[in-house]
A and B are shown apart, each in its own frame.
Chain A
Amino acid sequence: MWASTSRTAMQFVADHRDHDKWWGLNQMKHGDLASMSNLDFLDKFYTNHVANFRRPKYNGPKNVNLYIHGDSYLYKMYMGDSVFAGVSSLYFIGWTSILHYHLDTTKRNIFIIEVSERLLREYYHTTKIIDEFHDTVETQGKTGVLRSAEQGQKYGSFIPGIISDNFFNKFINQNLQCNIFNYNWIKPMYGSKAALNYYLFDRASGDVIISKDKQYLLLRQTLVPVGNGSSLSPVSDDEISLLVNNFNEIYDYYRGTGFTEIYLSIIPNTATIVQPDGYNNLIPRVQNDPRLKMAVIDIYSVFKQTKEKVFLPGDTHWNNTGKQMWFDTVNKILVGK
């Protein structure tokens, strides 16, 4: 039990567990949702991770330093500098990282804030987030390299850190699940339950829902009528104003530090595109708000118009086609000026 509540112990487990051996079930191998729902035995939800992106046809000068503050949709492991036109240096900053940077004013310094729709309201609904956001770009350092930083959830001051870290962990059930039951030899049992639900009750388990057209697995969080991550939960005008105001503060901050262009790019939930009935219109309402100072990389409209499939069937993220469309949209901006 302690091993599952202790941050240190869980870190040890994560570091030493070989995900291809009998005792290390690889949760993400076939797509996060397919794995979460244990429906990864179905080919229709299989995720192909192989990525081949087009190099842009561009022969002009490489005069752009591109900084992207993004999430798992754009993790650097799946892309490289070569997919962007005219970029001499690409800096990708994940949500839990800090960038030490020094702007080269002889080049175009472009900052893109990429956020997935299901995290948008959670990340940007308080000014506290902006403070954290500011901290992620540390202007004192001038090395231009990425450095990790932990942003762990701590309990209040009453409980000393060492106790909260080792005895009260809000992810203890997931950790116990991982330590006790997350082994390849138990996998058939999970699969049996998932198959029973799928074939008998026509549904997936737990946090995963099958789309109405049966083509996608969807994160339950994005389809329930409550919660910040949902495409259906109502968003008030006041909340839109708050989000726009927060983005404007971020815009002002980065303009003040020397960035010449700052863009906002919101990646829609799969549910927003493939099952839009009752959509709360969060993305268009933020993007089209006349008070928003940031320019927008509007992938929502691109996805709405295309006939192609842009999301992975068994994963929360987009497929290579969707990602390529995002690169193409960004490249139009990069070469357009």
Chain B
Amino acid sequence: MTFNSLQFLVFFMVVTLWFFRLKSQKGRVWLLLVASCYFYMSFIPEYILILGGTIVIDYLAGFLIEKNTGSTRKFWLIISLIANIGALAVFKYYNFFIDNIHTGINFFGNKLSLPVLEMALPVGLSFHTFQAMSYTIEVYRGNQKAERNFVVYALYVMFYPQLVAGPIERPQNVLPQLKEFRGYNWDNVKEGLARMLWGFFKKVVIADRLAMVVDRTFAHTIESSSTALFIGAVFYSFQIYCDFSGYSDIALGAAKVMNIRLMENFNQPYLSRGIQEFWSRWHISLSSWFRDYLYIPLGGNRKGGLRRKFNVFIVFLLSGLWHGANWTFVIWGVLHGLLVILLAGKTIEKNRSFIYTACRVIVNFILVTFLWIFFRAENLGAAWEYIQRICSFIGGSNYIGIGGVEFVFSLMVIAIMMLRERYGKGFFIASNTRFYLYTAMMVLICYFFGVFAENQFIYFQF
């Protein structure tokens, strides 16, 4: 069940109306848990067993960590981490590992055929395992009490708006909200719905429209001109942003309607003036997860410059691998890490001219765009070929999958999106009349200008 499907709209409506009819928080928690189970099972029902298994282990581990001290406490944390990372290792990385063993052995002329796992990657595995790990780590650190109520804990991991593509939440933020009964709040409903509509707009009007260009250029790299490929790459930057941040907007909006505040995941990343700043604005919940649970425990910047660089490199390497079991993601992460290391200390001077700032933003955007090519390409060879052809200013087909009018329209909606996010003041609309007008306008725009090809959200695959 993707957010941009009719099934989700009906599902959301039914669950939300039912949610507000219930007069006890216990009933609401049960409702949301059952709804979240259905939401998850609508992808592949059997995979709920994997999710359920890790939930039970982490729930028990939380108890045992809290109850024990010293090495026993650490032991249960390790058990929890092994369970979660183990699930990732088996279902996400096993085949990648085996493929590389095969390649290595075949390179030396030997033949070996190890069994591979013939199953699709469970949806959102990387997200909910990381969220579950943040719980046991926080309990271990003493920042969070172990949750007694299993249903509440299960809902913390499974809460449907953020189950399959984040934000990767922290227990301190979500658990208290799940236990507190809050009455119907029209302001929250308005704000949540307005944000959801904005998310739908970014997904169906922008991201899925740009996908037509991106899919075309990445599939026809050899015959396309440098200009077409460059447009494809730039459009991919906006596609992935609108796709992922659109998802986050819908997730945050849906939660807000039910009086639950989730953490922000984006802050206009393409207005960053440097790569370091980009990472403080892009996928914030993941960046902060790696910062809190990997970078700082590794020593952060407390153990000298060389060690800091090593720590940054490890974080970005693993961040790349987190996105997918493919060398393209690893290289994407490594390149980002190297840039952050190389450009460290290049602080952003205040009070510089608008032109200077604009140039930095543009240069950084182009840099990020070129790195996205690794993220989008099927393999490293394809990515390299794509970049080479852009840089060689070669001729070829200028066809980008859409006509001239739609190209201009695409630029226009990108500009509207950027301006709205730069100068817009949140999603709360005080006046009811203005809210209704906004809703009607957005629904009509999404319907008439939306591209409905049942495209999944890009980050669902992670």
Contacts and interface: CB of A to CB of B under 8 A. Distances in A.
Contacts of B6: 173, 176-177, 180
A193 B403 contact: no
Interface in B2-22: 5-7, 10-11, 14
A164 B452 contact: no
B219 A225 contact: yes
Contacts of B7: 1, 172-173, 176
Contact of B402 (A201, A220, A225): A201
Contacts of B453: 206-207, 220
- Size bracket, chain B contacts: 20 to 34
Contacts of A167: 38
Interface string A156-194: 101100001001100011001100100000000100110
A27 interface: no
Nearest to B44: A155
A168 B403 contact: no
A167 B46 CA distance: 14
B46 A203 contact: no
Contacts of A172: 7, 42
B419 interface: no
B219 A226 contact: yes
A200 interface: yes
B406 A201 contact: yes
B430 interface: no
B395 interface: no
Contacts of A180: 6, 10
A159 B406 contact: no
A205 interface: yes
B448 interface: yes
A161 to B, nearest CB: 12
B219 A200 contact: no
Interface string B444-455: 000110011110
Chain B interface, DSSP helix/strand/loop, else mixed? helix
A159 B46 CA distance: 7
Nearest to B449: A196
Given A176-B7, A202-B403, A203-B406, A158 B452 contact: no
Contact of B45 (A4, A164, A177, A203): A164
B41 interface: yes
B409 interface: yes
Nearest to B215: A224
A4 B8 CA distance: 13
Contacts of A158: 45-46, 49
B452 A206 contact: yes
B399 to A, nearest CB: 10
Contacts of B14: 1
Given A180-B6, A196-B448, A202 B405 contact: yes
Interface of B: 5-7, 10-11, 14, 38, 41-42, 45-46, 49, 215, 219-220, 402-403, 405-406, 409, 447-448, 451-454
13 contacts: A1-B7, A155-B45, A156-B46, A158-B45, A159-B45, A168-B41, A168-B45, A200-B406, A201-B405, A201-B409, A206-B453, A207-B453, A225-B219
Interface of A: 1, 4, 155-156, 158-159, 164, 167-168, 172-173, 176-177, 180, 189, 192-193, 196, 200-203, 205-207, 220, 224-226
Given A172-B42, A201-B403, 7 more contacts: A158-B49, A159-B46, A176-B10, A193-B447, A193-B448, A201-B409, A202-B403
